[in-house]
Amino acid sequence: MNTLFREIQVLFERTYARVGINLEECLIDRHRCRQLSALAGAQAAELSMLARTFLRAADGRLRVGIYYSNWLIEQLEAHDPRAGLSDENIRPLIAFVEEINHALHGALRFQHGEVPERSEDYARNLELQAGVDTYLVLLLFVAFFRRPGKITRADRKWLRFHLFESRGRQRFRDRTIRSRYAETTLLAKKYTRFLESLSATRRMEEIRVFHALDYGSKRERILALMDRTK
C-alpha cells in the first residue's frame, strides 16, 4: 500500500520526471536534523523546525535529508488528508508537500548538472517552485472530494489563504530570508492565478516549461504575465 509520501512523489514525477530514488528513504530524525541545521549556518536557525529539507553534493552524488516533526506527522495521522481537507490538516499538509517538492526538484536539477549551493537564487527557485506545485496538488485534493461537483470559489480562496496569505504574515529577523519568502510567495500567488486560466493540457505544458527555468527566468516570466494582465 502506498503511503501519502509516496503518492505525492509519484504525482510530481508524473508531472515532471522520475528521480530514480524513493525519497521516503531520505527521511531523517530530529537528532540528524539538528546536526545538519548546525552545518547549514546561522540562517537555518530562523527556519521552521516543523519540516526541513537538506541538499548537499558530495563525491558526485546528491545527499538528501527530509525531516518532519513528530507534531506534523501526528496531525496528518489524526486528520488524514486522503479522507478530506480541513483546518486541522491543511497547514501540516502544505509543509509535508513542500519538503517532498524541494527534494524532488533538487534531485532533478542535480540530474541536469546543477549542484545544491548556498546561493540565494537556488533557494528562491526551490521556494517558488514549491509554492506553485503545492497549490496545484491541493487543488487535486479538493477536486477529488468535490466530485462530481466542481471546485468552488470558496475552495480556492481557502487554499490561497493558507498557502499565500498567512505565509505573507510571517516575520523573519534575517533580511535575506524575509525578502526570499515575501518575493517567492507573491510570485507563486500571481503565477497560480495565471495557471487557473489555462486548460488542463495547456497548464501541464506551461508548468513543465516553467520548472526547467532558473530563478531569474521564472521571475521574469511571471512579471511579464503580470504586466500583460494589467
Task: Specify the number of domains making up the chain.
Answer: 1
Whether 31 is in a domain gets the answer: no
Whether 22 is in a domain gets the answer: no
C-beta neighbour count of 77 within 10 angstroms = 11
Q: What is the mean pLDDT of the chain?
A: 91
Query: Rounded to whole angstroms, how far apart are CA atoms 91 and 86?
Result: 9
Helix or strand run (H / E) with residue 217:
helix 215-228
Whether 102 is in a domain gets the answer: yes
Query: Rounded to whole angstroms, how far apart are CA atoms 127 and 135?
Result: 12
Whether 20 is in a domain gets the answer: no
Whether 28 is in a domain gets the answer: no
Whether 98 is in a domain gets the answer: yes
Whether 150 is in a domain gets the answer: yes
Whether 161 is in a domain gets the answer: yes
Q: Which pLDDT band holds residue 226 (cuts at 50, 70, 90)?
A: confident
End-to-end CA distance of the chain: 48
With 80 as the cut, is the pLDDT of residue 79 above it? Answer: yes
User: Which pLDDT score is estimated for 230?
Assistant: 55
Entry field: residues in the chain? 230
Q: Give pLDDT tens digits for 53-73.
A: 999 998 889 999 999 999 999
With 80 as the cut, is the pLDDT of residue 1 above it? Answer: no
Range of the domain at 131: 4-15+82-219
User: Which pLDDT score is estimated for 46?
Assistant: 72
- Beta bridge partners, 63, equal 56
With 80 as the cut, is the pLDDT of residue 108 above it? Answer: yes
With 70 as the cut, is the pLDDT of residue 168 above it? Answer: no
Q: What are the φ and ψ backbone dihedral angles of 150, each rounded to 5 degrees?
A: -110, 160
What is the pLDDT averaged over residues 14-36?
A: 94
The bridge status of strand 51-58 relative to strand 61-68 is: antiparallel
Query: Rounded to whole angstroms, how far apart are CA atoms 155 and 152?
Result: 5
Sign (positive or negative) of CA dihedral 135, 140, 141, 142: positive
Q: Which pLDDT band holds residue 177 (cuts at 50, 70, 90)?
A: confident
